C-alpha cells in the first residue's frame, strides 16, 4: 500500500518578497519564509529598522536582503520584478481610524493608496513576471478580519480591506490557469507597537475581548504558520480564499 505524503512546507530554492517587512506582522512573515529556506527580499520604507531586521535574520543563518522603498512606487516595482519572485507577501498597510462622520478626503485617499492601489499593482507586477517566466507562484496579501466585518471608527479601513478581498477573488480566477495562486491572510488585532494605543483604551480593549472567542489578542507568531502554509506547496490547491486568523471573531 502506498501511503500519501504531506506536501512540503519548505521553501528551499525559492525567491520571496515581503513588503512592510521592517516590523510587526511583515517582519514575522519574512522570518517565517526565511526560516523555511527561502531567500527573502525585505521591502519597507524605514531603512534603519529594515536594515536591523535583515541583519538579525542573517545572524540566524537565513538568506535575506533589504530593499528600502515604497510599495506604491510603480517604477521601483518594475525594476524589482525584472526577475520573478516565487512568493510575494504584501504586509504593507495603513490605518487612519476615525468616526465615519469625521473622515477627511486626505485620510481616505492615503489609506486607499496603500491598502488597495499599491496592493493591486504589486499583484499585477508579480503575476506579470511569473507569467513571462512561465512559472507558477503564490501571492499573499495580509488583509484583516475587517475585510469581512465592520468595526468601530474603521469605515475607511474596512472599505479598503473588503476591496482587497474582492480583488483577490477576481485575480485568482484570471491567474489560476497560469498556476499563480493568490490569497489573503486575515488576522484579528495583533499586538505590535502600532496597535498599543488601541489596547490601552479600556473601551476598545473590552470590545476586543468580547469579540475574540479564544479570549486573547493575537501575537505576531500567530500569523507565521498561516503565511508559510499559503506560501508553500502545502496549500497547492488553495487560491482566491481568505485564511482567517481571528480567534473566532468572524464565526458569529
CA gap 33, 40 in Å, rounded: 7
Catalytic one among 62, 81, 85, 157?
Answer: 157
Which residues 6+ apart lie within 8 Å of 62 measured at CB?
A: 31, 34, 35, 40
* 157 carries an active-site annotation: yes
Q: 124-151 in b/e burial notation, b at 16+ Cβ within 10 A?
A: ebbbebbbeeeeebbbbbbbbbbbbbeb
The burial class, CB within 10 Å (0-12 / 13-18 / 19+), for 235 is buried
CB 81 within 8 A of CB 19: no
Catalytic residues, by residue number, are 157
Amino acid at each position: 500500500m502506498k501511503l500519501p505524503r504531506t506536501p512540503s512546507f519548505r521553501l528551499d530554492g525559492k525567491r520571496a518578497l515581503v513588503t512592510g517587512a521592517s516590523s510587526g506582522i511583515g517582519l514575522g512573515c519574512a522570518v517565517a519564509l526565511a526560516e523555511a529556506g527561502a531567500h527573502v527580499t525585505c521591502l519597507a520604507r524605514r531603512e534603519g529598522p529594515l536594515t536591523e531586521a535583515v541583519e538579525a535574520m542573517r545572524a540566524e543563518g537565513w538568506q535575506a536582503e533589504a530593499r528600502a522603498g515604497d510599495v506604491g512606487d510603480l517604477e521601483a516595482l518594475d525594476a524589482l520584478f525584472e526577475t520573478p519572485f516565487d512568493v510575494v507577501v504584501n504586509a504593507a498597510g495603513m490605518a487612519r481610524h476615525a468616526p465615519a462622520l469625521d473622515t477627511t478626503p486626505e485620510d481616505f485617499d492615503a489609506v486607499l493608496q496603500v491598502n488597495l492601489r499599491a496592493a493591486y499593482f504589486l499583484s499585477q507586477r508579480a503575476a506579470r513576471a511569473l507569467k513571462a517566466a512561465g512559472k507558477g507562484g503564490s501571492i499573499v496579501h495580509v488583509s484583516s478580519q475587517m475585510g469581512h466585518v465592520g468595526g468601530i471608527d474603521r469605515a475607511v479601513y474596512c472599505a479598503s480591506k473588503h476591496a482587497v478581498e474582492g480583488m483577490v477573488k477576481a485575480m485568482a480566477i484570471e491567474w489560476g490557469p497560469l498556476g499563480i495562486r493568490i490569497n489573503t491572510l486575515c488576522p484579528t488585532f495583533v499586538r505590535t507597537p502600532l496597535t498599543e494605543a488601541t489596547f490601552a483604551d479600556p473601551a476598545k480593549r473590552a470590545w476586543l475581548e468580547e469579540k475574540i472567542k479564544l479570549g486573547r489578542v493575537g501575537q505576531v507568531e500567530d500569523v507565521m504558520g498561516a503565511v508559510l502554509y499559503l506560501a508553500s506547496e502545502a496549500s497547492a490547491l488553495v487560491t482566491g480564499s481568505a485564511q482567517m486568523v481571528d480567534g473566532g471573531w468572524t464565526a458569529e
